[in-house]
Structure 1
């Protein structure tokens, strides 16, 4: 259940909205600002013009074999879609959305996720608030991001990404005392996040529509 997954995550700060960071080749993408203490190791979405072309074998390493047919269908329906660029954006989105949840930024979560996922995030935020818990965390690293599934259903493109990440997590009480976790020992997480967008008409922005544990 997404609710269970969300309850296991812990606190940060949201800098920007997700909107069009995934899978677009406009030539105008800009690095995404992050808190000052994290800028030494930024996760950014590079300009498409600065991203070298991926040889076919390297591109395949970005996905599992079963995803290729779906990605080709999405690319045929949306000429702006690029697999490598999408995955870079997905990694940025993973961090941005987690930090929005950790900082209880309900308004931004609603803008970045589907109604169902947003409701699950809000329920988890309300539960921890009622318990008097404050979340404190840091995304140490994303060890791997791999596209596991892709499909074009009607006008909707759906892509599932597996994230293997290390998160330093702490839960504090209302007085700031640590009641669980550690900022020095990272927890290994394996998440499956599905992003969706309309390729023709409707909302052209990618949104998080489903989360699960890998």
Structure 2
């Protein structure tokens, strides 16, 4: 009797083992949507290169868009800054000039104003207007942006001595003035101002 039970147990165990095997085979042998693809080093390299390429295109596009926004915003205030600098220099308003010029240019403008005062000379300037404004050069290095602008303006200017005698210029003639001014800004700075860093005619 006990031997029969042993045989029955063996048969049952064999059946259970066979059933489990078939179930495992059915599960493990079936492909699912979540099955991981076999690793392919070549395909992986191509995929990585495509990601880097897309990233580079995105960054370049982003930089170009940023640069265009910077130029557009800059030109909105460039004409105002130009007129302020020209008229402030003529009036000897060093307080205003200090907010618009970098240290080197400010010192040059200040020295010219002080020399004018020492010689008892006064500058009379009437700013008629700006005929055109054009960006000649745009460059950036890290967080420093530089923009060189060509201004064509109409100005009446003359210099008089202490007796109001005209020694330079003509108060009745409108002059066409061509200026190439370079402005610079630290884009990481909380200060919103662009500073004049170089001037030429």
Is TM more than 0.5 here?
Answer: yes
SS at match of 1:174: coil
Whether contact under 8 Å (1:73, 1:152) holds in the other structure is no
What's the TM-score, normalizing by structure 1?
A: 0.60
Q: Which string of whole-angstrom CA distances, capped at 9 and with x for unpartnered residues, describes residues 65-95 of structure 1?
A: xxxxxxx847537x9x443342131011100
Cα root mean square deviation, aligned: 2.1
Gaps in structure 2 of 5+ consecutive residues: 1-61
What's the TM-score, normalizing by structure 2?
A: 0.63
- 1:141 Cα deviation after fit: 2.1
**Bigger relative contact order, structure 1 or 2 (CA pairs below 8 A, ≥6 apart):** 1
Tell me, in whole angstroms, the C-alpha distance in 1 between the residues paired with 2:98 and 2:129.
Answer: 25
Q: Does 1:179 align with 2:167?
A: yes
- The equivalent residue for 2:104 is 116
- 1:128 Cα deviation after fit: 1.4
Tell me, in whole angstroms, the C-alpha distance in 2 between the residues paired with 1:73 and 1:173.
Answer: 52
Larger radius of gyration: 2
- 1:118 Cα deviation after fit: 0.1
* Cα distance, 1:201–1:170 mapped onto 2, change above 3 Å: closer
Gaps in structure 1 of 5+ consecutive residues: 1-71
Higher share of residues assigned helix: 2
Size of the aligned set, in residue pairs, is 140
Tell me, in whole angstroms, the C-alpha distance in 1 between the residues paired with 2:94 and 2:105.
Answer: 11
* Cα distance, 1:93–1:132 mapped onto 2, change above 3 Å: same
Tell me, in whole angstroms, the C-alpha distance in 2 between the residues paired with 1:123 and 1:112.
Answer: 16
* Cα distance, 1:159–1:95 mapped onto 2, change above 3 Å: same
Tell me, in whole angstroms, the C-alpha distance in 2 between the residues paired with 1:208 and 1:75.
Answer: 24
- The equivalent residue for 1:76 is 66
Tell me, in whole angstroms, the C-alpha distance in 1 between the residues paired with 2:71 and 2:124.
Answer: 33
- The equivalent residue for 2:179 is 191
Whether contact under 8 Å (1:167, 1:188) holds in the other structure is yes
- 1:120 Cα deviation after fit: 0.7
